[in-house]
Amino acid sequence: MSEATQRPKTAEPDDDQPPETEDETAAEPVDDVAGPSNESGSSLRMFRRVRRVAPWSVWLVAGFFLVSLGVFYGEATLLAGAAVPFAYVGYAALSTLPTGLSVDVERRVDERRLTPGDPVEVTVSVTNTGETVLTDLRVVDGVPEELAVVEGSPRASMALRPGSTGTFSYSVIAKRGDFGFGDARLIVRSLLGTDAATLSATVAGADSIDCTDPAALAGLDRATRLRTGVTQSDQGGEGLEFHSTREYRPGDARNRVNWRQYAKSGELVTTEFRQERAAREVVLLDVRPTTRRSSAPTHPTGAEYAAYAAEAAVERYRSLGHRVSLAVLGVDAADVDVSVRTAGDALWIEDAASEAGRRAADATFTAAADAAAVRTPGRGPGESLTERRTTEPKGVSGLIAQFPDRAELLVVSPLVDRAPLSYAKRAAVVGNTPTLLSPDPTGDRTPGGRLSGARRDVRLREARGVCDRVIDWPADRSLSAVAAAVDGGGH
């Protein structure tokens, strides 16, 4: 059940709003039209009420004119003709809105966990809980301004009998954040449209679309070769997997002595197992200004997709017990709420799984998400198809030097230029196995988008020669769908 409140910022559609003229008169107090709260707490608040009087005053003048002529000339035909305009005037006087309107509005939204790019279906139900027929009821749902409607319409027109319900649906594209719906705007007209009221009502049910916390998507850890919280090293020590044997030393544990060999040869030897250590991961996020473009105005930018995916990957690695480091390109340290050091051209957090590192990583991801949402216009279609190979960015060496030995690198970048490849190549040289997760921000709706997409395909082919795995994230698929594909062994 809905409770009405005022929402001044919700604009009314121009074709639904009755025009204001000097001949319009205000109605009685609000309570005469919007009924008081019922037992369920539902109420309506009226913005304004408009009565169109001018068209009917012309008919009233015409009626008196015909009566005057009929009396003056003694013509019964003229007197009978005066009944027509008087009938119009009388019918218009009776065409008014009923008192005590009662309308309940309820909204339902997909309850599944959302990731950026997911289409979200919104269903709105409108119930006439009053005792009179609403012959012309128009509803406009309070869609968050930040979310674009991609299918259906948040507006509907319906006629409702007492107790009946009308329903309409539309879809929006999810973006990172928590976006609240506004009040629904209702426009009620009388049968002839001579009396209209604009009202506002709060909506029961879902009041927001939440796409804030990255999901711990199971498929992301399968993008790299490490799937557990520990990995095997090349050194002997404590562990489960056999590594080698060595000569017995006083003090060695008795359960590590190879008694079978002692029984055969009389030699005491100690068994070494392959040493286990916590898996090391490095997530490199690219949200530089050049990445802040999208395939369509209704979709998040490539940088927004990348920021969400990188945060989801860090959360996943934490849950698996991995030691994870974070590097972010395109965010100024001054924009982060906590102190974060830099390495090369990137912000660098050595241990994002520790308590202090978690706070720093969360603040950095917040700053990255804010920066990624600032859309950068794409380049024009006049770009050359062949991309000139430039020298390695100056900050690459400074960042790669911070990477732990034998750590696996996950690069999350829209790949709008070759800069991320420079980091992947240098990481591969020093022994850090790179993986690339790349959301596609190009699209094929414009010549410029198709050209940018062709150039990006060239970079992807180059990346497949460098990276252990390349995951191309199409613009028409959400992160949840991509993770599911990775989980199933797809690309």
In the chain, what are the domain boundaries?
30-52+97-210, 232-277, 279-487
pLDDT digits (tens, 9 = 90+) for 251-261: 677 676 777 77
Position 359 scores a pLDDT of 94
Provide the b/e sequence for 196-205 (b: ≥16 CB within 10 Å). bbbbbbbbbb
- Rounded-to-integer distance, Cα 89 and Cα 122, Å: 43
* pLDDT of 40 higher than 50: no
What is the pLDDT averaged over residues 422-431? 91
Task: Using alpha carbons only, give the angle 357, 359, 360 rounded to the nearest 5 degrees.
Answer: 65
* 146, containing H or E segment: none
DSSP bridge partners of 378: none
> Higher-confidence residue: 29 or 188?
188
* pLDDT of 179 higher than 70: yes
Residue type, 165: T
Position 11 scores a pLDDT of 40
> Higher-confidence residue: 459 or 63?
459
Class of domain 279-487 (CATH, top level): alpha beta
What is the pLDDT averaged over residues 226-249? 50
C-alpha distances in Å from residue 406, one per residue of 70, 431, 455: 106, 6, 32
3-state secondary structure of 205: strand
Residues whose CB falls within 8 Å of the CB of residue 152, separated by 6 or more in sequence, listed in order: 168, 169, 170, 171
Query: Which residue from 99, 150, 98 is spatially nearest to 121, judged by alpha carbons?
Result: 150
Average pLDDT, the chain: 77
pLDDT digits (tens, 9 = 90+) for 136-165: 899 999 999 888 898 999 999 999 999 999
Q: What are phi and psi of 487, to 5 degrees?
A: -60, -30
Query: Does pTM surpass 0.85?
Result: no
Same fold, 30-52+97-210 and 279-487: no
> Structurally, what CATH architecture does the domain formed by 30-52+97-210 represent?
Sandwich (2.60)
pLDDT band at 122 (very low <50, low <70, confident <90, very high): very high
pLDDT band at 76 (very low <50, low <70, confident <90, very high): confident
